[in-house]
Structure formats: structure tokens, C-alpha cells
């Protein structure tokens, strides 16, 4: 069962005028969180925002062998994210979790290729740690609009992750979408690969199609609007394929947010 705690802010690192990483004292939640799971959070005690909002758990924060809390990677775009950006030490954030279906880390000889778009980077810190424990060779394909929106590059590199960058404006790495270097790499490899992807849904659709083209398994973490995170409101439904044709809808907060890419029905199918 998920835990519901009033978590105090223990650090708020502003990465840019819009992005921040906020660290919450929620050790009980952090201790049982798996890569790709999320929490529902609500800052403050007023009615704006009225509902909690979902955030992938970014890091599990440790001090030696003791787990102290968890962090969230956020972009300031609405009421909740503005409050998270402005939060200071000691503020209280309501935090419910962990929720959802996690990623399934692979072990050698398979390699892990993570594909992140923008704040879709969030679930890949915990996944990196899980893959590192298994000794799995890992590559991160990381894309954003501009180089100023690429973060934690040294963090991933220091953990042995091969980082491949792309930006839409060409300011850092290859110019264009993150799927371009992914497809190029798939074209050149004969090894056993598992793709993990998180980011805007159009990116996930493109990753899924590239993976299918090269007959490569993929797990994708979808970013759907969620009102409760526990299956009660049906705001996060997503279509999945049925054996023999057709599809039905499932709640991504329960059946996901991580899905096998080939199971999902995309807008252009």
C-alpha cells in the first residue's frame, strides 16, 4: 500500500529559471520505491492547487547506509510546479507513494538504452542505480529544446553511463530529435538491447516505432494527467492492444506508468 506523509523540504536546487530539483524528507516512501514509480504531491495547505500532481521519483537520497528522502525533478509550468520551485527549507509537501508499475531492469549481457526528453529524465536516476548494481552497460539518449535544458550530465557520466545528447536548436550535441541518434545506434548494433523511454507522448510514440522497426523491446513511461494516482478518477486512461485485434482502456496510474511499448495504441495507429 502507498504511504501518505507530510514531507518537509530539506533542499531545493534551482537548475535554471524554470527547472529545479526538490528534496523531500520522505524516507519511508523512498525505501520502497522502485525505478519508474511516482508520487502524488501537493504543496501548501490551500485550495490552489486543489489536487495532487504526479512526479516520477528522481533520486533516492542517502546518508551512508541511511535513506533520508527522495527528490523530484520539476519544470515550472503550473500552480503546483511554481510552488515547488519557490519552496524553501522546512516547507511541508503532502506526498503519497510510491505508486504505479516500475521499469524492469535488465542484466548483462543485455544493454540498457534510456531515452529521455526534457523532464522525462526523472525516472532514469533510480533506474541507473538499479542497472549499475547489475553491472549492465547503459547509454542515455537525452534530448531537449536547447542545451540550457540538459541537466545532471556529470551525475550520469560519473556512474558509467554513456551520454548521447541532442537538441532541437543544435546548441549541444546533435541537432534534431533524440530519436535520430537512437535509430542510428540501433542500425549499427547486433547486441541485445532493452530501450527505456520517458518524455512527451509524441516522443514515446516515435521511440516505440523505431524500436518496432529494429525489433527491439522497449518499455515506456507515459506522462498522463492524473487526478488521484490510485485509479479512482479515470483521468489517466490509455488504450492498450488486445490479442487478436482491437483495444481497451486501462488506467495508467495502475497498469502503468510503465508499459511495454508494443502494447500501446498510439494516435496514428
Asked if the peptide bond before residue 138 counts as cis, ω within 30 degrees of 0, the response is no
Q: Is it the case that residue 124 has pLDDT exceeding 70? A: yes
Confidence class for position 243, pLDDT limits 50, 70, 90: confident
Supply the pLDDT for residue 58. Answer: 98
Whose grid coordinates read 557520466? 157
pLDDT of residue 225: 83
Binned at pLDDT 50, 70 and 90, residue 256 comes out as very high
**For 205-221, how does the pLDDT look when each residue is reduced to its tens digit (9 = 90+)?**
999 999 999 999 999 99
Least confident span in 10-19, 23-32, 62-71, 236-245: 236-245
| 268: confidence class by pLDDT, cuts 50, 70, 90 | low
What string of H, E and C letters represents the secondary structure of the chain? CCEEEEEEEEEEEECCCCEEEEEECCHHHHHCCCCCCEEEEEECCCCCCCCCEEEEEEEEEEECCEEEEEEEEEECCCHHHHHHHHCCCCCEEEEEEEECECCCCCCCCCEEEEEEEHHHHCCHHHHHHHHHHHCCCEEEEEEECCHHHCCCHHHHHHCCCEEEEEECCCCCCEECCCHHHHHHHHHHCCCCEEEEEECCHHHHHHHHHHHHHCCCCEEEECCCCCCCCCCCCCCCEEEEECCCCCEEEEEHHHHCEEEEHHHECCCCC
Count the alpha carbons within 13 Å of 57 in the hemisphere toward its beta carbon: 33
pLDDT at position 226 is 86
Query: What are 67-99's pLDDT values in tens digits?
Result: 999 999 999 998 899 999 999 999 999 999 999
User: How high does pLDDT run on average in the chain?
Assistant: 94
Q: Is the pLDDT of residue 253 over 70?
A: yes
**pTM of the complete model:** 0.96
More confident residue, 49 or 124: 124
Beta bridge partners of 237: 251
* Calpha distance 128→120 (Å, rounded): 14
Asked if pLDDT for residue 44 goes beyond 90, the answer is no
Q: Which residues contact 19 (CB under 8 A, 6 or more apart)?
A: 73, 74, 75, 76, 119, 149, 151
Amino acid at each position: 500500500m502507498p504511504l501518505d506523509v507530510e514531507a518537509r523540504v530539506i533542499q531545493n536546487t534551482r537548475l535554471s529559471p524554470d527547472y529545479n530539483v526538490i528534496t523531500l524528507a520522505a524516507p519511508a516512501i523512498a525505501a520502497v520505491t522502485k525505478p519508474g514509480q511516482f508520487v502524488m504531491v501537493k504543496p501548501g495547505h490551500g485550495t490552489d492547487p486543489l489536487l495532487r500532481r504526479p512526479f516520477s521519483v528522481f533520486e533516492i537520497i542517502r546518508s551512508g547506509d541511511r535513506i533520508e528522502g527522495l527528490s523530484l525533478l520539476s519544470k515550472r509550468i503550473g500552480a503546483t510546479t511554481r510552488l515547488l520551485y519557490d519552496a524553501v527549507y522546512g516547507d511541508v509537501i503532502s506526498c503519497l507513494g510510491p505508486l504505479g508499475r516500475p521499469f524492469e531492469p535488465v542484466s548483462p549481457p543485455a544493454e540498457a538504452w534510456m531515452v529521455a526528453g526534457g523532464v522525462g529524465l526523472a525516472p532514469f536516476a533510480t533506474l541507473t542505480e538499479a542497472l549499475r548494481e547489475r553491472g549492465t552497460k547503459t547509454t542515455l539518449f537525452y534530448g531537449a529544446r536547447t542545451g540550457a535544458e540538459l541537466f545532471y550530465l556529470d551525475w550520469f557520466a560519473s556512474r558509467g553511463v554513456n551520454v548521447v545528447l541532442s537538441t532541437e536548436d543544435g546548441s549541444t550535441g546533435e541537432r534534431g530529435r533524440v530519436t535520430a541518434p537512437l535509430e542510428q545506434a540501433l542500425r549499427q548494433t547486433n547486441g541485445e538491447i532493452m530501450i527505456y523511454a520517458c518524455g512527451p507522448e509524441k516522443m514515446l510514440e516515435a521511440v516505440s516505432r523505431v524500436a518496432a522497426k529494429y525489433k527491439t523491446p522497449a518499455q515506456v513511461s507515459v506522462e498522463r494527467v492524473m487526478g488521484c494516482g490510485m485509479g479512482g478518477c479515470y483521468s489517466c486512461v490509455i488504450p492498450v492492444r488486445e490479442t487478436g485485434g482491437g483495444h481497451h482502456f486501462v488506467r495508467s496510474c495502475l497498469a502503468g506508468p510503465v508499459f511495454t511499448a508494443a502494447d500501446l495504441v498510439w494516435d496514428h495507429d
